[in-house]
Amino acid sequence: MSAINVTETHPMAFLLVGIPGLEHLHIWISIPFCFAYILALLGNCTLLFIIQADSALHEPMYLFLAMLATIDLVLSSTTLPKMLAIFWLRNQEISFHACLIQMFFLHSFSIMESAVLLAMAFDRYVAICKPLHYTTILTKPLIIKIGLAAVTRAVTLMTPLPFLLRRFHYCRGVMIAHCYCEHMAVVRLACGDTRFNNIYGIAVAMFIVVLDLLFVILSYIFILRAVLQLASQEARYKAFGTCVSHIGAILSTYTPVVISSVMHRVARRAAPHVHILLAIFYLLFPPMINPIIYGVKTRQIRDHVLSLFRRKDV
């Protein structure tokens, strides 16, 4: 097997174990994963089609939603096809460079997702706290700049990782105890001083999650204050109702991250498959649930979907 052949600096390929300890259940585990992936593809592609087809939806909120749907498609498609190949075909081998590319896309688009959720919080803040200036503040050039800033930040932070991993010798085997090439899972196979990789990985994760989440919380503090100052209860419900979908997207994205982080610290002796299943849940759940949240809670999207079904009936 080519994974055993090793060059001077790194193996030609790694072997992805899948879910350690649950190898005998891979086929059964793959069924909900495959179903979730199909839902993510259908849901996010439908969202993108509706937003592109309806010019009335070419507004900041929906343009940010289109960015989120695109990111979710890339995130799930970066890992799930290979994961299903492991479960169904026992195709565990992944070349060294393909592993680095998968890791780069996985972590980069996770950072982009966090940035887009922050941008969506800013959109809701402007819409509720500064409604008269909404169209003058959130112009299309600004939205493009926000999108480019999200991509630039992610690429800048993640570009060093593949180069840092290329410099190591891998003397601890080629078996990655995971379903995909996650940074720390690859680092564990490396020889030499990996402290910088460990510190850099933790620092980036903390910087992104803490900073973005802090600004999201601040946005909602201002939003809540503005909503409570509205005269009628109906106006309050209507104003805060426009935030429900975004709050759902935030919870679907950050809740698995927080749970996984707590589990790593509280349940360090938990079986490896517990942490891996949580990591997979983080990758699969937001792309699957976000289109459902926005489809159900956003009237314009819901109406457009219903109109498509009515046309089919006619």
Q: Where are the domains of the chain?
A: 13-296
User: Which residues, other chains included, contact 176 with Cβ-Cβ below 8 Å and sequence gap of 6+?
Assistant: 14, 15, 16, 17, 99, 185, 186, 189
**Residue 257 pLDDT class (50, 70, 90 cuts):** confident
- Per-residue DSSP letter, 182: -
Q: Beta-carbon neighbour count of residue 240 at 10 Å?
A: 19
Strand 93-95 and strand 13-16: the pairing is antiparallel
Q: What is the pTM of this model?
A: 0.88
Q: What is the dihedral of CA 26, 28, 29, 31, to 10 degrees?
A: 120
Of 272, 248, 250, which is closest to residue 260 (Cα–Cα)? Answer: 272
DSSP string, 66-95: HHHHHHHHHHHHHHHHHHHHHHHH---EEE
Question: Which CATH number describes the domain made up of 13-296?
Answer: 1.20.1070.10
> What pLDDT sits at residue 4?
47
Q: How far is CA 21 from CA 177, 245, 270, 275, 276, in A?
A: 10, 37, 12, 12, 11
Q: What is the pLDDT of residues 6-46, one digit of tens each?
A: 445 678 889 999 888 888 889 999 999 999 999 999 999 98
Strand intervals (E) in the chain: 13-16, 93-95, 175-176
Q: What is the pLDDT of residues 119-172, one digit of tens each?
A: 999 999 998 888 888 989 999 999 999 999 999 999 999 999 898 888 888 888
Q: What is the dihedral of CA 136, 137, 141, 145, to 10 degrees?
A: 180
Cα 198 from chain centroid (whole Å): 21
> What pLDDT sits at residue 294?
82
Question: Which position has the higher pLDDT, 60 or 260?
Answer: 60
First to last CA, the chain: 57
Is the pLDDT at 185 greater than 90, yes or no? no
Residue 99 CA to residue 103 CA, distance in Å, equals 6
**Residue 310 pLDDT class (50, 70, 90 cuts):** low
Q: What is the pLDDT of residues 208-232, one digit of tens each?
A: 888 898 999 999 899 888 888 877 7
What does the pLDDT average to over 263-271?
62
Q: What is the pLDDT of residues 70-126, one digit of tens each?
A: 999 999 999 999 999 999 998 999 999 999 999 999 999 999 999 999 999 999 999
Collapsed DSSP state (helix, strand, coil) of residue 242: coil
